[in-house]
Amino acid sequence: MTPSDFSCADYPPRSLLYVPGSNARALEKAGGLAADMLIIDLEDAVPADRKDEARAAMRAAVAAGFAGKRVAVRVNATGTAEQAADIAAIAGLQLDAVVLPKVDAPFDLDPLRGLGLPIFAMIETPAAIYAARDIAADQAVSGLIAGLNDLAHELKLPDGMDRGAMSHAIQAIVLAARGGGVWGFDGVYNAIDDVAGFVAEAAEGRRLGFDGKTLIHPSQVDPCNAAFAPSEREIAAAEALVVAATGGAQRHEGRMIEDMHVAAARALLERAGRA
């Protein structure tokens, strides 16, 4: 699959679950989860002394297959000692994407271009925020992922991952994704036992315009899918709008609608049917 095959005309994954490549139990269970995409992680989730083990386990898992799942692999960042071995390990595998962390500029994508795989670029630093538009416009890129843990650290936020303090940066990622015609995915939620907090953040991510959210624990999959799926109220409203539309500008249920609103309603219904 080439980047041109993996376009935003396809249904974007709502839930993208990181699965540590060095965790055999997690890899085994991942296929039975409802996540739209699995991201087998060779980077942060893998201890330095287990990288080779993780690569071998990743290759075995991908070869065995995850029925009905889209699968990506997160490699180590450009400039690290581990990246070349990661790239060698994924060469020739049937993957849907490769996730590249710490992309500060389009040239960071260069080592992965020869793979012919769509790239999800992680935007994790102030430099990356300023370069996000150019990164999203690169033909090798099919999505941006907000790397908010690292961004919060780089910004020296006193309260950790304060989304309010990062609001400008978060919206810049969404704007860059939309401007480049690629998908945009929200960052992870660290408090895995805080269900209410996760639900609130996922709902906020959808309101901000993200297509889906990256996850670090299986318990987050179902609430994430629910948050990024159209609600019954939204579906009913979209159906009514499509039925009422006659073309051009018109009044519908107390507001003016035009062709772009009809197109958005049809897209919502299509997404609801696929979900």
pLDDT for 10 beyond 80? no
> Who contacts 24 (Cβ-Cβ below 8 Å, separation ≥6)?
57
pLDDT for 187 beyond 90? yes
pLDDT for 192 beyond 80? yes
State the DSSP string of 217-258: SGGGHHHHHHHTSPPHHHHHHHHHHHHH--SSSEEETTEEE-
pLDDT for 238 beyond 70? no
Q: Rounded to whole angstroms, how far apart are CA atoms 73 and 54? A: 11
Average pLDDT over residues 72-98: 97
pTM summary value:
0.85
Higher pLDDT, 41 or 162: 41
pLDDT of res. 235: 67
pLDDT for 57 beyond 70? yes
Extents of the domains making up the chain: 15-227, 232-274
pLDDT of res. 264: 72
Q: Rounded to whole angstroms, how far apart are CA atoms 202 and 212? A: 8
pLDDT for 87 beyond 70? yes
- Check: CB of residue 129 under 8 Å from CB of residue 123: yes
DSSP state of 176: H
Average pLDDT over residues 171-184: 97
pLDDT of res. 93: 94
- Residue pLDDT, tens place only, 202-233: 999 999 999 999 999 999 999 999 999 876 67
Residue 31: is it exposed, middle or buried by C-beta count within 10 angstroms (0-12/13-18/19+)?
Answer: middle
pLDDT for 13 beyond 90? yes
Sign of CA dihedral 226, 232, 235, 241: negative
Q: What letter represents residue 177's amino acid?
A: A
pLDDT of res. 271: 72
pLDDT of res. 256: 73
Average pLDDT over residues 117-141: 98
Q: Rounded to whole angstroms, how far apart are CA atoms 221 and 141? A: 25
pLDDT of res. 120: 98
Average pLDDT over residues 122-126: 97
Helix (H) or strand (E) run with residue 36 in it: none
Q: Which residue has the tokens 């990661």?
A: 86
Q: Rounded to whole angstroms, how far apart are CA atoms 189 and 215? A: 7
pLDDT of res. 74: 98
pLDDT for 165 beyond 70? yes
pLDDT of res. 7: 42
pLDDT of res. 4: 36
- Tell me how far CA of residue 118 lies from CA of 34, 91, 136, 225, in angstroms: 22, 13, 12, 23
What CATH superfamily classification does 15-227 receive? Phosphoenolpyruvate-binding domains (3.20.20.60)
Q: Is 213 helix (H, G, I), strand (E, B) or coil?
A: strand
What's the first-to-final CA gap in the chain, in angstroms? 23
Classify each residue of 214-245 as buried b or exposed e, where b means 16 or more C-beta atoms within 10 Å of its C-beta. Answer: bbbbbebbebbbebbebeeeebebbeebeeeb
Q: Spell out where the chain has E strands.
A: 15-20, 37-41, 70-74, 97-100, 119-123, 141-146, 183-186, 212-215, 250-252, 255-257
> Who contacts 82 (Cβ-Cβ below 8 Å, separation ≥6)?
42, 51, 75, 76
Enter the tokens of residue 170.
């978060």
Q: Give the pLDDT band of residue 266 (cuts 50, 70, 90).
A: confident
